[in-house]
């Protein structure tokens, strides 16, 4: 009990000092810190050559193991789609995934035997380690896809606003996409890469319709697929691109606001389990505890007679 009170006191003191430090820090210092992080993120877009070489060596090592594993044709297309939507463009990425699904179970089984966990249950722990090691690479890839789609979804309204400005200023759609990609290079590098890839595909001979459809397929995001469908229909029927983009941008912002309102409405439901299981029991102990102690002390002499 004393140890728990000490920890609570320590954490409360740290939280109070952190809040005071943040409250009395000048706004100029906070702004300078945010700007420095933005500068570091912009310079990190072009990765260090040594880091790229290290990643390439690791990918090649995993790919060399993945070549030895026979490919499952029924899962190959799904894995390829996950890798593309996660943002990996290397041809050896699928081989690296297969290699990771072989090496990680072996490494975890070796860890189980080296740490002595197999003595507790010689069958369950090694099998569990092998299953976890086999599933973790694909689960991590799925998480990576969802995280990247979230970043793309957040970047899309800014992209649409810039597209409207560029098109209304007189640029064609191809030049507008390239200009938007250059402007969003620091704040939204994921969407920048996708727009540049669309522009490069059109340069090598793909039609605009095919390049835009590939964009929707690569990202797997419904908002981008809707944007692609709108641009294709605009080009097919000859309507104004700027007017269509402005209407779509307003619709996107309305959906973004509705999504935020929906998330805000869900918070009350999400707060019920912590309240029921953590806060209410503590309140009951604090409120009823002294009364129960007093009642027991008064009733003990009567019950003893």
Given this model, what pLDDT does residue 45 score? 47
Phi-psi map region of 205: left, alpha, beta (phi>0 left; psi -120 to 50 alpha): left
**Residues 190 and 202: beta-carbon distance below 8 Å:** no
- Which residue ranges of the chain lie beneath pLDDT 70? 1-8, 10, 17, 20-30, 33, 35-76, 303-305
Residue 256 phi, psi (nearest 5):
-65, -40
Q: How far apart are CA 202 and CA 207, in angstroms?
A: 6
Strand, helix or coil for residue 168 = helix
Q: Where are the alpha helices (DSSP H) in the chain?
A: 2-24, 27-43, 49-66, 73-85, 93-115, 124-168, 173-183, 189-203, 208-219, 222-237, 241-270, 272-274, 280-304
CATH topology of domain 149-266: Receptor-associated Protein (1.20.81)
Given this model, what pLDDT does residue 48 score? 53
Q: How far is CA 5 from CA 1, 11, 183, 255, in A?
A: 6, 10, 52, 47
Sign of CA dihedral 38, 42, 48, 51: positive
Given this model, what pLDDT does residue 146 score? 94
**Residue 28 token pair:** 């100029």
Q: How far apart are CA 142 and CA 137, in angstroms?
A: 9
**Residue 250 token pair:** 């307003």
Given this model, what pLDDT does residue 147 score? 93
Predicted confidence (pLDDT) per residue in 261-296, tens digit: 888 888 888 888 888 887 888 778 788 888 888 888
Domains of the chain, by residue range, sit at 149-266
């Amino acid at each position: 009990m004393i140890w728990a009170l000490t920890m609570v006191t320590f954490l409360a003191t740290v939280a109070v000092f952190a809040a005071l430090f943040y409250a009395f820090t000048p706004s100029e210092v906070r702004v300078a810190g945010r700007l420095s992080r933005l500068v570091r993120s912009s310079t990190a877009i072009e990765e260090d050559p040594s880091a790229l070489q290290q990643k390439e060596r690791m990918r090649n090592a995993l790919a060399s193991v993945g070549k030895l594993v026979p490919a499952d044709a029924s899962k190959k297309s799904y894995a390829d789609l996950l890798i593309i939507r996660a943002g990996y463009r290397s041809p050896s990425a699928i081989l690296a995934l297969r290699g990771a699904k072989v090496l990680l179970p072996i490494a975890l089984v070796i860890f189980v035997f080296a740490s002595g966990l197999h003595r507790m249950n010689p069958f369950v722990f090694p099998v569990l380690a092998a299953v976890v090691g086999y599933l973790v690479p694909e689960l991590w890839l799925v998480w990576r896809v969802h995280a990247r789609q979230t970043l793309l979804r957040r970047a899309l309204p800014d992209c649409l606003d810039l597209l409207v400005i560029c098109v209304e200023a007189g640029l064609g759609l191809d030049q507008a996409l390239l200009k938007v990609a250059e402007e969003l290079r620091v704040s939204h590098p994921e969407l920048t890469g996708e727009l540049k890839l669309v522009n490069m595909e059109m340069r090598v001979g793909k039609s605009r319709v095919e390049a835009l459809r590939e964009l929707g397929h690569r990202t797997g995001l419904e908002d981008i697929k809707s944007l692609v469908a709108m641009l294709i229909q605009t080009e097919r029927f000859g309507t104004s691109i700027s007017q269509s983009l402005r209407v779509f941008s307003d619709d996107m912002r309305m959906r973004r606001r509705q999504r935020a309102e929906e998330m805000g409405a869900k918070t009350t439901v999400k707060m019920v389990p912590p309240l029921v299981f953590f806060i209410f029991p503590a309140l009951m102990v604090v409120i009823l505890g002294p009364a129960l102690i007093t009642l027991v002390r008064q009733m003990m002499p009567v019950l003893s007679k």
